[in-house]
Structure 1
């Protein structure tokens, strides 16, 4: 039987506010992503660091994870192959609708396992936690698995270069169009029209900023996050980097933001 999450970790379910203590505790307590069964199959090939092909020709995009930086993707594919190649899997998820590339997005379970292959890949440090899981308990479970690898310095976390520092905007700009994890101190919170900006530099145009559209403001507030109170707090965000003079990252899912420290 799955044990209940500690109170401070349950708070993470309401906005992914995360502390090191919560992360460590939730590693052993978080519930697996046990969604409805979508089917099963035999993995015949590894397509990329987050996708596999089944023997019947179907391609499965593993939900909840993203590929690491390019220089670490071969290792990620090797880890995925060691875990799933030539194995029978049960696919689980909230929706069996194919994505725009015709892939089925799902969690893959091997041999009656209680946790998905994604959790093991994250625990090994082979991949990064994605932002495509709306179920909050599942997101916590995946976040805890990634945190275990990060704290232990496994896989992609051994180099210490996966998380980009907001004080080095050029490093972030080099990741335009790519899934990236960025961390730093919010210097100011500014609203222009219906858009709110978390600014991580004195220069609003050249420094890194997080864009929060009006819709997401309501989502964050509903999760108990006072966006205006984020000034002077340490924050980690993830998503696809855009360039608007300086590097930008738009918040479209609550799973993109982790609040690491108070004022």
Structure 2
């Protein structure tokens, strides 16, 4: 039953994405190798020994030897789907920003040959609902395509989107958001007030800023917004979806480090 389910998801992922020519092309191409191990749903090991963290996505996590670390729901399924797609297959890599992380892993997009052309592994995993979009200020290429794939998977209730663990949280329920402190979450709501103070921009989603949910944009991120031609203060009144790590500082909040963490769903 599990094998047939993974095969169905793999087929669905392949059908849901375009060949690379229509996908993520604005990258520095680099040789890859044969995938000899899939660590989890967003990390693979090549025959050269290179560990590749599939940038732009976050799949459900496995403990991987970390004591006390829980297995996230759907983590095993995500790993099996990626294995079905890339294990023992030649892949090529594409870099769109910072190329190596502090663990000496390559931060790359992964491409594998498919029956109807090359498959972009990140997009396929997101399209099957087995990963979320997860970006960094120094690695922001091809996010539009990944967001589109994620939106389709979420609306269809595929993969992780069928599990309450990954539900999009409501900004007007700050208690629910606070319960997820220390977790990467998607939070959706209308910005009640956008305000600048002490070199930061605060997007307040409630009247009581010490209790309600807030998105905080620090000065380096404000510069990235400006470079993108965006003013976060114009988000006042907008319906948005914010993604990032929840912390508890004067109520639940997410620090926004780059514009792509905020999806504008409606301006008013």
Instruction: Pick the TM interval, shorter chain.
Output: 0.7 to 0.9
The structural deviation recorded for 1:151 is 2.0
SS at match of 1:215: helix
Distance (Å, rounded) in 2 between the aligned partners of 1:173 and 1:96? 31
Q: State whether residues 31 and 92 of structure 2, in contact with CA within 8 Å, keep that contact through their aligned partners in structure 1.
A: yes
Matched, 1:183 2:185: no
Taking structure 1 as the reference length, the TM-score comes to 0.81
Q: State whether residues 73 and 163 of structure 2, in contact with CA within 8 Å, keep that contact through their aligned partners in structure 1.
A: no
Q: 2:215 corresponds to which residue?
A: 210
Matched, 1:52 2:58: no
The structural deviation recorded for 1:260 is 0.4
In structure 2, runs of 5+ residues without a counterpart are 1-16, 62-71
Q: 1:241 corresponds to which residue?
A: 246
Q: State whether residues 96 and 140 of structure 2, in contact with CA within 8 Å, keep that contact through their aligned partners in structure 1.
A: no
Q: State whether residues 99 and 108 of structure 2, in contact with CA within 8 Å, keep that contact through their aligned partners in structure 1.
A: no
SS at match of 1:111: strand
RMSD: 2.3
Q: 2:59 corresponds to which residue?
A: 67
Distance (Å, rounded) in 2 between the aligned partners of 1:41 and 1:222? 36
Distance (Å, rounded) in 2 between the aligned partners of 1:241 and 1:252? 13
Return the match for 2:198 from 180, 193, 217.
193
Q: State whether residues 32 and 114 of structure 1, in contact with CA within 8 Å, keep that contact through their aligned partners in structure 2.
A: no
The structural deviation recorded for 1:158 is 2.2
Cα separation, partners in 2 of 1:43 and 1:96, compared to 1, 3 Å:
farther
- Bigger relative contact order, structure 1 or 2 (CA pairs below 8 A, ≥6 apart): 1
Taking structure 2 as the reference length, the TM-score comes to 0.79
Q: State whether residues 66 and 179 of structure 1, in contact with CA within 8 Å, keep that contact through their aligned partners in structure 2.
A: no
Q: State whether residues 89 and 110 of structure 1, in contact with CA within 8 Å, keep that contact through their aligned partners in structure 2.
A: yes
In structure 1, runs of 5+ residues without a counterpart are 1-26
Q: 2:9 corresponds to which residue?
A: none
Matched, 1:110 2:112: yes
Matched, 1:33 2:24: yes
SS at match of 1:260: strand
What do residues 57-96 of structure 1 show as CA deviations (whole Å, max 9, x unaligned)? 2211001101247222222212212211222111111357
Q: State whether residues 38 and 96 of structure 1, in contact with CA within 8 Å, keep that contact through their aligned partners in structure 2.
A: no
What do residues 157-196 of structure 1 show as CA deviations (whole Å, max 9, x unaligned)? 2236521111222322233232211111111122222111
SS at match of 2:74: helix
Distance (Å, rounded) in 2 between the aligned partners of 1:92 and 1:229? 34
Distance (Å, rounded) in 2 between the aligned partners of 1:105 and 1:141? 18
Distance (Å, rounded) in 2 between the aligned partners of 1:231 and 1:96? 32
Q: 2:80 corresponds to which residue?
A: 78
